[in-house]
Amino acid sequence: MIDYKTLNSLLKELRSKNTSVNSKDFFERELGKSNETFKTHRLSIEKLTKDGYIDKLRSNYVIITPKGFEFEGYKKKVKVMEKKVFVSHSYNDRKIAERIINILLVDTLNINKSEIFFTSKRETGIRSSKTWREQIRKNIIDCQLFIAIITPSYHQSHMCQAELGAAWVTQKNIYSLYIAPITVKNFAVVIAERQADNIREKEEMQSFIEQLSEDFSTHYSRNLDLSNLVEGLNKFYRSLRSYLRENATDIGISYNENSKKNSKPGNINIPAFDTEVIKTKAINEYPNDYSTQEYVINEQKESYDKLKAIIKENLDKPELKIILENAISEWKDDYSMVVNTVEEQLDSLSRMK
């Protein structure tokens, strides 16, 4: 067996000397010319210099330096961060995909953007001079987590369908995210048996993020941070609504959040605040986290009271009823999001007048 402890101590010594040496000579001198030496195993210094351990090298000898390594006769090798998440999407839907990536994956979960393969951005996709089909094929193979953003444009794209089929064949973790007018009835056979998540449903997107986090930890032995999930989802939906309000028709997405300016004001009623329902949801979302449960319950009660105050202050606005109905239809008993939506709509209405 290779003595990793010895090799790591040698690396530490090498770095302290701040010198460059030929790896073959260095290890043979320090470990001897036995079957356990660098000469026999062709050990790699790549992970040793980065992570503190050795793996086998199926290539040439390397030159070790305190700053890294390089192959003999070649330029210094720069290790590119491994892609872990493949975001399959139609170019028409890139703005929706960008919000999922930037707000939920990067800002909320702290996944490094360089770990995500996303073809609509050069920094995360295909670089200059690279063959794009080959790069897509390679990254589908490399990434264990595959997110499909399924829309009318996605269904019409042969490349998107090919990516989805390749992910299924290579047995990736596939997360199917869809948005109206797409329904699960429109799904291809290869993913119809999997649980899919509606992008417009906060509860379903929360489930998607939690499952992605769990699978990420399983495949890459790194835990993702879910502490900002609620805040991240709220930010995501504010941004998504703003985008869809202006662009849904252009990209074939169903989105109905238009106020009826001439509607007459009537009796405006909201469902009674059900403490038990809110409490049950908080317990299910944050089991054994009693401080967070208490915070969520109090936040929802405060939001409910605030919503009643907003209604009282704006009863003279004929648009209020439809705004409120749309908000409650979308967010149900998540009163913090209902309040955010109503306030946003009323602010926009005020600026338009």
The overall longest dimension of the chain from CA atoms, in Å, is 92
Between CA 170 and CA 164 the distance in angstroms is: 10
With 80 as the cut, is the pLDDT of residue 96 above it? Answer: yes
Provide mean pLDDT across the span 68-93.
66
**CATH code for the structural domain at 85-236:** 3.40.50.10140
b/e burial code for range 157-185 (CB count within 10 A of at least 16 → b): beebbebbebbbeeebbbbbbbbeebeee
Lowest mean pLDDT among 85-99, 106-120, 256-270, 301-315: 256-270
Percent of the chain with pLDDT over 90: 38
> pTM higher than 0.85, yes or no?
no
Identify the pLDDT of residue 267.
56
What are the structural domain ranges in the chain?
4-71, 85-236, 258-352
pLDDT at 71: 37
Token reading at 6: 């010895």
Q: How far is CA 329 from the centre of its chain?
A: 26
Q: Is the pLDDT of residue 209 over 80?
A: yes
DSSP E strands in 151-247: the ranges are 173-178, 196-198
pLDDT for 128 equals 65
Taken as a whole, the chain contains a residue count of: 353
How many CB atoms sit inside 10 A of residue 325's CB?
12
* Residue 57 confidence (pLDDT) above 80: no
β 68-71/62-65 pair status = antiparallel
Q: Is the pLDDT of residue 76 over 60?
A: no
Q: Summarize pLDDT for 178-207 with one digit per residue, the tens.
A: 998 888 777 766 677 778 899 999 999 999
Which residues on adjacent β-strands are paired with residue 146?
A: 86, 174
Q: In the predicted model, what is the mean pLDDT of the chain?
A: 78
Q: Name, in order, each residue with C-beta under 8 angstroms of 205's C-beta and a sequence gap of 6 or more.
A: 104, 177, 197, 198, 199, 233, 236
Q: How far apart are CA 269 and CA 324, in angstroms?
A: 9
**Confidence band of 63 (pLDDT split at 50, 70, 90):** very low
Among candidate residues 321, 311, 339, the one with its CA nearest the CA of residue 237: 339
pLDDT score of 44: 46
* 111 touches 145 (CB < 8 A): no
> What gap in Å lies between CA 333 and CA 224, rounded to an integer?
28
Residue with more model confidence, 263 or 328 = 328
Is the pLDDT assigned to residue 20 strictly greater than 70?
A: no
What 3-state class would DSSP assign to 198?
Answer: strand
- What is the per-residue pLDDT for 179? 92
